[in-house]
Structure 1
Amino acid sequence: MSDWQIYLVVGVFSVVILVIAFDLIDMAVAALVGTSVLIALGIIGEQDLLATARTAAGPISLLFGGMIVARILATTGLFDLVGDYYLRATGGSGKRFLLLLIVIVAPLCALLPNATTVILLAPIIIRVARALDIDIVPPMILTALLSNAAGLLTLVGDPATFLVGSSIEYLRRASLGGVLAIAVVIPLLPVLMRGIWRTVAPLPPRVARAKLKRPVYAALAVAVLALMMVLFVFGEELPTRIVPPVVAVIASALALLVAYAFKVEPTDRVLRDVDWKTLLFLTCIFCLVQGMAKTGLLQVMSLKLYEVFGTRLTLVALAMICGIGLLSSLLANVPVAAASILMVKGYLVTAEFVPESAMSDQFTQWPAPVIPVFIAMMYGATLGGNATLVGSAANVVAAGICTQEGAPISFGRFLRYGLPLTVCQLAVTAAYVVVLTRFLH
């Protein structure tokens, strides 16, 4: 790629981010126009689109499947039932509302991808927030931020962790960082969400206890959700090795089949309610990141890492947390993680920690001292995505849901919550990586 093409790619991407940040154009339109410019100028070609499809297929499938399953569950009355219990558990306290939100999101996101967790919990959170007369935007942002952090707990919690986990077995040591990232949220809540934290509201009178509609239909829909969660955790251990994106597609098919069999809603109405705008936006972001990867800047960064830090792995790990964290705040963290895997491998090969064969997906003989570099990259990619609206799929999904509910989230408003939390989370996980690096040495 020539110099002018590199400048053009960087320029187009910068313009797209700035346009979104200042709310000048709808973010889906901005991303689509930016992608179209790169395609029209021949910078992104057929092979690039195929490469993008391979990278984006997993995350997009996870989102689509989660949207379908959540849409079918909404017709069962389950969200009303759970929301009623949640509301009563708060006792009208905003503080308890936020703390219970952490208790609900963290374990659920260990079993479901983060964006799917946001989709499933959104109707419940919005119902409770409105009953307490609380603005729905802050708790929805908090749900996205928590789901990103909790995504570090397991391989299925975040598409980015799935990508890295496929390259190197690390979660046995990395999960503790997810716990720390969640714990950091608690002392920040009275500061970031002061108004909600101090809220004390009378509970609305209970007119009638919420009930499941069509118990048999509801049971089957919940069974689909349960099957999806089980396969997310154990699917890859089966002889046929069912990966999370495939699980999501299977679950969506089963959910649609259940709804069709009981004639609850026409299939076309369910599909019409899918948030296609969010799926389009994320697909275009993947295309833009592919254009950035094509510039060769990541390969240059691999060499720079070695030139600047040599074989000092602790410094390289810290550089990963800061550098990849910054990139993930500007780009979607999943494609950043996918591209960063190659960058880290390139550095390790250049520094002669591993042989050239380590660049292949089949390589598994990673020396213990290099594991913290991968972990640091994962922390930077996942937690860095908390900083901005476009940093992760969960953030975009939360914004899309709020827009549908008549409470759009601006780039600046998300930044006010996301940036301080991200800085604290990256600082805590950086300290953990330093300790881990010394332990493994």
Structure 2
Amino acid sequence: MSELQIYIVLGVFGAVILTIAFNLLDMAVAALVGVCILISLGILNEQDLLSATRTSGGPISLLFGGMVVARILSTTGLFDRIGDLYLSATGGSGRRFLLLLIALVAPLCAFLPNATTVILIAPIIIRVAIALEVDFVGPMVLTAIVSNSAGLLTLVGDPATFLVGSSIGMTFGEYLHRVSLGGVIALLVIVPLLPLLMPDLWRLRRPLPPRAQLRKLERPIYAALSLAVLLTMVALFVFGEYLPTRLVPPTVALIASALALLVGYEARFEPTDSVLRDVDWKTLLFLGCIFCLVQAVTKTGLIQVMALKLQDSFGTQLTLVALVMIATIGVLSSLLANVPVAAASILMVKGYLVAAEVVPDAALAEQFTQWPAAAIPVFVGMMFGATLGGNATLIGASANIVAAGICAREGKPVTFATYMRYGLPITVAQLAASAVYVIVLARLMR
């Protein structure tokens, strides 16, 4: 690639991000236009698009499958009952509302993709916020942040985390042993910041109307089958890799989406066309386009240059490199979608480890899994940087985009600045805590 083409790629990439940041154009349109410019100039070719498709296929499949399952579950009435219980449990207290929000969202995000959880929980959060007579934008932003943070609890909780973990062959059990505690810490960091970020809501007290009788499920069999699909998906997330056919999480999500559509179709309650129409295609398109833009950046050779610079600057000081990954990838993930940032960073870090002679050249192959213990904290640092860095801005993670889209449909658009007012302080605190965690992990793995 010529020097002029490199400048064009970086210019288009920067223009897309600035256009989104200043709300000059819809984010999906901006990303798509950027990709089309690079294609028309011959910088991106068919092979590049196929490569981007292979990289993005897993995360996008996770999101799509989760969205379909969430859409079917939303029609069962189960979450209406959960909403009634949630409102009652708040007792009219804003503090309880926020703490219960974390307690509700975090366990779901341990096993469901974060954007899926936002779709499932959003109607409950909005309904309770309206009942408490408060603006639901802050709680919805918090829902996205908690969902991203809780994505660190398990390997399948966040697409960026899954991408990094799967690239080194980390199993579900290994992840629980080495990374999950860091996810718990990331969630706990949020709690002391809530009185500072949402003081009015934190101090709120509202009298609640008399508790109404819980609504009965109109179609209990349909609800039970839909819930069974969700539980099957969670079980396959945990145990699928140990089956003879080795079902990886994206495959599991697609299987679950097929089962959910089958349940909806056979129940004659939810038309398939209606379910697919409600899938958040804009978010999927945006992520696909961002992957294509990252592919263009990869093609410039800048990632390989950065890998060599890492080796020149830090040698084999792997703990220091892990901390650099937390900071660098954290910043990049706040400006770009965190999943493609993670995808590009994997290539850079593997190149660095080869250049530093920590691993052999064979480590650049996708099938390589013999990573030394000392190298694991570097990849864990990448997970923290990508997943938590995505909390900082509106475009940092798919859950943020989904939450903003839901708020807009409810008549409350979320601007870039509004989201960052909540997301940036939380992200800084979380990345600082994760740096301490990685230092401790590195010492334990020596």
Which TM-score band (shorter chain)? Answer: over 0.9
Superimposed CA distance per residue, residues 176-207 of structure 1 (whole angstroms, 9 cap, x where no aligned partner) = 21111111000001111222211211223444
Q: Which residue of 2 aligns with 1:329?
A: 334
Structure 1 CA distance, aligned partners of 2:95 and 2:57? 39
Q: Which residue of 1 aligns with 2:236?
A: 231
Deviates most, 260-269 or 47-56: 260-269
Deviates most, 226-235 or 421-430: 226-235
Deviation at 1:259, TM superposition (A): 1.5
Work out whether 1:377 is the aligned partner of 2:382. yes
Q: Which residue of 2 aligns with 1:394?
A: 399
Alignment of 1:176-191 (within 5 A): 176-191=181-196
Structure 2 CA distance, aligned partners of 1:403 and 1:287? 27
Structure 2 CA distance, aligned partners of 1:257 and 1:167? 32
Deviation at 1:84, TM superposition (A): 0.3
RMSD over aligned Cα atoms: 1.4
Q: Which residue of 1 aligns with 2:263?
A: 258
Structure 1 CA distance, aligned partners of 2:444 and 2:69? 43
Structure 2 CA distance, aligned partners of 1:59 and 1:408? 26
Deviation at 1:428, TM superposition (A): 0.7
Alignment of 1:104-183 (within 5 A): 104-168=104-168, 169=170, 171=175, 172-183=177-188
- Among 410, 420, 423, the alignment partner of 2:425 is 420
Deviation at 1:45, TM superposition (A): 0.9
SS in 1 for 2:179: helix
Deviation at 1:208, TM superposition (A): 4.2
The answer on whether the counterparts of 1:94 and 1:197 sit within 8 Å (CA) in structure 2 is: yes
The answer on whether the counterparts of 1:62 and 1:116 sit within 8 Å (CA) in structure 2 is: no
Superimposed CA distance per residue, residues 242-275 of structure 1 (whole angstroms, 9 cap, x where no aligned partner) = 1211222222222121121121132212222222
Q: Which residue of 1 aligns with 2:355?
A: 350
- Among 192, 196, 199, the alignment partner of 2:201 is 196
The answer on whether the counterparts of 2:141 and 2:403 sit within 8 Å (CA) in structure 1 is: yes
Superimposed CA distance per residue, residues 366-412 of structure 1 (whole angstroms, 9 cap, x where no aligned partner) = 22222111111111111111111111111111112222222221111
Alignment of 1:266-305 (within 5 A): 266-305=271-310
Deviation at 1:241, TM superposition (A): 1.3
Q: Which amino acid aligns with 1:345?
A: K
Deviation at 1:37, TM superposition (A): 0.8
Q: Which residue of 2 aligns with 1:90?
A: 90
Deviation at 1:291, TM superposition (A): 1.4
Deviates most, 158-167 or 39-48: 158-167
The answer on whether the counterparts of 2:319 and 2:442 sit within 8 Å (CA) in structure 1 is: yes
The answer on whether the counterparts of 1:386 and 1:392 sit within 8 Å (CA) in structure 2 is: yes
SS in 2 for 1:33: helix
Work out whether 1:64 is the aligned partner of 2:69. no
Q: Which amino acid aligns with 2:44?
A: I
Q: Which amino acid aligns with 2:364?
A: M
Q: Which amino acid aligns with 2:415?
A: S
Structure 2 CA distance, aligned partners of 1:144 and 1:82? 19
Q: Which amino acid aligns with 1:344?
A: V
Deviation at 1:85, TM superposition (A): 0.5
CA 1:207–1:107 in structure 2 vs 1: closer, same or farther (change >3 Å)? closer
The answer on whether the counterparts of 1:66 and 1:120 sit within 8 Å (CA) in structure 2 is: no
Superimposed CA distance per residue, residues 136-193 of structure 1 (whole angstroms, 9 cap, x where no aligned partner) = 2111111111111111111111112212222333622222211111110000011112
Structure 1 CA distance, aligned partners of 2:158 and 2:205? 34
The answer on whether the counterparts of 1:278 and 1:400 sit within 8 Å (CA) in structure 2 is: no
SS in 2 for 1:408: coil
Structure 2 CA distance, aligned partners of 1:119 and 1:111? 14
Structure 2 CA distance, aligned partners of 1:196 and 1:35? 42
The answer on whether the counterparts of 2:77 and 2:217 sit within 8 Å (CA) in structure 1 is: yes
Structure 1 CA distance, aligned partners of 2:31 and 2:157? 26
Structure 2 CA distance, aligned partners of 1:166 and 1:274? 26
Q: Which amino acid aligns with 1:276?
A: W
Q: Which amino acid aligns with 1:380?
A: G
Percent of aligned pairs sharing the same letter = 71
The answer on whether the counterparts of 1:309 and 1:315 sit within 8 Å (CA) in structure 2 is: yes
The answer on whether the counterparts of 1:275 and 1:400 sit within 8 Å (CA) in structure 2 is: no
Q: Which residue of 2 aligns with 1:73?
A: 73
Structure 1 CA distance, aligned partners of 2:62 and 2:369? 26
SS in 2 for 1:241: coil
Deviation at 1:320, TM superposition (A): 0.9
Deviation at 1:103, TM superposition (A): 1.0
Q: Which amino acid aligns with 2:305?
A: V
SS in 2 for 1:436: helix
SS in 1 for 2:205: coil
The answer on whether the counterparts of 2:27 and 2:286 sit within 8 Å (CA) in structure 1 is: yes
SS in 1 for 2:112: coil
Q: Which residue of 1 aligns with 2:11?
A: 11
Return structure 1 stretches of 4+ with deviation > 6 angstroms: none
Deviation at 1:435, TM superposition (A): 2.1
Q: Which amino acid aligns with 1:313?
A: L
Work out whether 1:404 is the aligned partner of 2:409. yes
Q: TM-score, normalised by structure 1?
A: 0.97
